[in-house]
């Protein structure tokens, strides 16, 4: 993780812990590196709101709107300042920090009806519910969709082995919905296993531990029916067959040329 990503994570964690002074200092440091960092400007403005520095907060949000005139976070918080509604924000719902191997933005399948999708807001908290074949995604007790089958298969195994995840609505429309999933705790059993491999080939090549994990038979393999999974299964079978052929090949006598 580079310095900027580390500072972003520290800023978010400081705000989530209610340390607004620390959050403001870290976001100021980010802006020293990149004065036009919209995320840092929004976070700094929110920190100033909590520190009762509304004039400085407005300056931050107005700078955001100069850079991005449609930015909803800046608009919303300027409205709060105007109406004196400076309540504590939930940073984990407003910032989708990317951490390779630990976070993923996922398009949901088998979506709920448009009347439910219409009511979703970015940052809305979701729950992952393990079902027979899929992981169902719910918010406020209402079903909104499922994870793709290959990811359902993977996360089911990780959750059953004591990993924990947070989940939020990333974006939605009447025809689509994506969510942001973050690994918040990795169990000792999963110590060497990424929740979200960085690329497709990593599913079968990252290391022997990961491959063994993916091929365990404690979850029915018929869960996996996507093209990607079929390719991965074929790749593994081909390698396994080659290994078996090598094992069965006759060993040359030492005295042969």
The pLDDT tens digits for 110-127 are 999 988 988 887 778 899
**Cβ atoms of 24 and 43 closer than 8 Å:** no
| Least confident span in 3-17, 36-50, 162-176 | 3-17
Q: What pLDDT is attached to residue 199?
A: 59
Provide mean pLDDT across the span 12-17.
76
Pairing of strands 142-146, 164-172: unpaired
More confident residue, 252 or 112: 112
pLDDT(15) > 80: no
- State the Cα–Cα distance between residues 123 and 126, nearest whole angstrom: 9
Q: What pLDDT is attached to residue 208?
A: 44
Q: What pLDDT is attached to residue 232?
A: 44
Confidence of residue 86 (pLDDT cuts 50, 70, 90): low
Q: What pLDDT is attached to residue 243?
A: 43
Provide mean pLDDT across the span 196-222.
47
More confident residue, 16 or 242: 16
Q: What pLDDT is attached to residue 224?
A: 37
Residues 6+ apart with CB under 8 A from 201: none
Percentage of the chain exceeding pLDDT 70: 70
Q: State the angle between helix axes of 149-160 and 227-248 in degrees (0 to 180), rounded to the nearest 10.
A: 70
Confidence of residue 96 (pLDDT cuts 50, 70, 90): low
Which domains, and CATH codes, for the chain?
Answer: 3-93 (1.25.40.10), 96-243 (no CATH)
pTM of the model: 0.48
**Cβ atoms of 97 and 168 closer than 8 Å:** no
């Amino acid at each position: 993780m580079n310095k900027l990503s580390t500072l972003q994570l520290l800023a978010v964690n400081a705000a989530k812990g209610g340390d607004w002074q620390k959050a403001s200092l870290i976001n100021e440091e980010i802006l020293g590196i990149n004065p036009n960092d919209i995320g840092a400007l929004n976070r700094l403005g929110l920190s100033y709101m909590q520190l009762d520095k509304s004039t400085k907060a407005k300056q931050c949000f107005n700078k955001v709107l100069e850079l991005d005139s449609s930015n909803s976070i800046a608009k919303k918080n300027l409205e709060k300042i105007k109406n004196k509604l400076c309540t504590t924000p939930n940073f984990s719902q407003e910032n989708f920090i990317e951490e390779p191997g630990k976070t993923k933005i996922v398009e949901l399948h088998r979506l709920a009806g448009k009347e439910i999708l219409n009511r979703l807001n970015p940052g809305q908290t979701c729950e992952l519910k393990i079902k027979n074949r899929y992981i169902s995604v719910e918010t406020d007790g209402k079903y909104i969709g499922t994870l793709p089958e290959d990811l359902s298969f993977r996360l089911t195994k990780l959750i059953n082995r004591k990993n924990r995840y947070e989940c939020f609505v990333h974006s939605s429309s009447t025809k689509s919905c994506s969510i942001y999933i973050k690994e918040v705790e990795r169990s000792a059993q999963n110590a060497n296993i990424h929740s979200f491999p960085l690329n497709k080939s990593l599913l079968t090549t990252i290391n022997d531990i990961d491959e063994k994990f993916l091929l365990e038979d404690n979850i029915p393999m018929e869960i996996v029916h996507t093209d990607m999974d079929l390719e991965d299964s074929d790749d593994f079978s081909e390698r396994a067959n080659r290994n078996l052929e090598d094992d069965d090949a006759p060993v040359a006598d030492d005295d042969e040329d």
